Amino acid sequence: MAEKAFDVVVVGSCMTDLVSQAPRLPKAGETIHGHKFFIGFGGKGANQCIQAARLGVKTAMVCKVGKDFFGDNYIQNFKDNGVHTDFVWQTSDAATGAASITVNDAGENAIVIVAGANMLLGRAELQEALPAISHAKVLVCQLEVSPQTSLEALRMAHDNKVKTIFNPAPAISDLDPDFYRVCDVFCCNESEAELLTGFSVANVEEALQAGQELLKRGCGAVIITLGPQGSVVFKTQESASKHVPTTAVTAVDTTGAGDSFIGALAFYMANYSTMPLEEMARRANQVAGVSVQAAGTQTSYPTKQDLPDELF
């Protein structure tokens, strides 16, 4: 296993984004002409894995895609980014996850997500991936696959003393309380923190309260990301939370910033095990801050070569 041990293993989703830009959103029953179409690689799990890989760690993705053109294409995308694909399964029982997105000239969108093959990732696949999960330095999970699958993967990692990051996105209000107990770092954005705690999280002050509440539920540490205001970090060993501000940048497209932050966090946790969590958050802010300055999701994620040496 030694030569196969991964720094970061992500158990999560792959989605193909089918994006149409049009002057306005069509009404029910209507057909309109758009002016641009493109296909993008998305899905929170895959995004986070690819960001970690681009920073220079050995990564493996554990996911399921369809036995179709989009599935083949996605596997090639992982390979192009140096992500190990032995645990990417293809099924004939569902299509590769897809998000059909229409964006109007005002920047508003209408989106239909069909999770498809993502929902067929289950216990059998986790058992096959157990050697990789149990020998990883860091395991990352989200909620775009079945929550039971995410929880089981986190448990497997936790039982094997693998560091775990859980990103409760997209948020569900009835989150199993066991999720808190099996994650070393619980990392969410403002709206997820609001939904999970019932507190308003509109500013740093309010984020401090929500973070303390999440921490009390049993995780090792909590990070709440706050867009241009950076992030806040809470640790069980310290009563004081820390606001980690970030450098102001001109945002072009913030899509995928949260996933860039988490992929970077996974990279730092795997590579710099003794670095204080707030320093990892400071550096992850910088990486995600680069992603907001370019269009798209994975297309905007920096590689090690794009970033200043002081981040490594």
Point out the residues that are catalytic.
259
Q: Which does 270 bind (CB under 5 to 8 A by kind): K ion, ligand ATP, none?
A: none
User: x/- contact string, 135-164, with ligand ATP (CB under 6 A)?
Assistant: ------------------------------
Rule CB under 5 A: say whether 150 interacts with K ion: no
Distance CA 119, CA 235 (A): 33
Do the annotations mark residue 174 as ligand-binding?
no
- Per DSSP bridges, beta strands 98-103 and 15-21 are parallel
CB 235 to ligand ATP: min, Å: 17
Q: Which does 89 bind (CB under 5 to 8 A by kind): ligand ATP, K ion, none?
A: none
Rule CB under 5 A: say whether 128 interacts with K ion: no
Q: Which does 253 bind (CB under 5 to 8 A by kind): ligand ATP, K ion, none?
A: K ion
Do the annotations mark residue 229 as ligand-binding?
yes
Provide the phi-psi class of 107: left if phi over 0, else alpha when psi is between -120 and 50, else beta. left
Rule CB under 5 A: say whether 228 interacts with K ion: no
Q: Which does 119 bind (CB under 5 to 8 A by kind): K ion, ligand ATP, none?
A: none
Do the annotations mark residue 16 as ligand-binding?
yes
Choose which of 253, 304, 307, 311 interacts with K ion (CB under 5 A).
Answer: 253
Chain residues 272-291 in contact with ligand ATP, contact rule CB under 6 A? 285, 288-289
For every residue of 15-76, DSSP letters joined together read: EEEEEEE-SSPPPTT-----SEEEEEEE-HHHHHHHHHHHTT--EEEEEEEESSHHHHHHHH
Determine the size of the site formed for ligand ATP (CB under 6 A): 21
- Answer for the pair 149, 13: CB distance below 8 angstroms, yes or no: no
For ligand ATP, give the closer residue by CB, 117 or 284: 284
What is the phi/psi pair of residue 191, to 5°? -70, -35
Rule CB under 6 A: say whether 189 interacts with ligand ATP: yes
For ligand ATP, give the closer residue by CB, 156 or 269: 269
Choose which of 34, 56, 227, 245 interacts with ligand ATP (CB under 6 A).
Answer: 227
Residue entry with tokens 């309260």: 209
Q: Please report, as a single letter, which amino acid is at residue 34.
A: G
Chain residues 233-252 in contact with ligand ATP, contact rule CB under 6 A? 246, 249, 251
What is the phi/psi pair of residue 261, to 5°? -60, -45
Which residues fall within 8 angstroms of residue 312, CB to CB, at 6 or more apart? 56, 304
Euclidean distance between the first and final Cα of the chain, in Å?
A: 27
- What 8-state DSSP symbol labels residue 95? P
> Which value, in Å, is the radius of gyration of the alpha carbons in the chain?
19
Sheet containing strand 36-42, strands side by side: 36-42, 15-21, 98-103, 109-114
Rule CB under 6 A: say whether 299 interacts with ligand ATP: no
Q: Which does 218 bind (CB under 5 to 8 A by kind): ligand ATP, K ion, none?
A: none
Number of H helices, E strands in the chain: 9, 14
Q: Which does 96 bind (CB under 5 to 8 A by kind): K ion, ligand ATP, none?
A: none
B/e letters for 142-160, b = 16+ CB within 10 Å, e = fewer, are: bbbbbbebbbbbbbbbbee
Residue positions forming the annotated binding site for substrate: 15-17, 43-47, 144, 259
Residue positions forming the annotated binding site: 15-17, 43-47, 144, 189, 225-230, 246, 253, 255, 258-259, 285, 291, 294, 296, 300
List of residues contacting K ion (CB under 5 A): 253, 255, 291, 300
List of residues contacting ligand ATP (CB under 6 A): 189, 225-228, 230-231, 246, 249, 251, 254-259, 261, 285, 288-289, 292
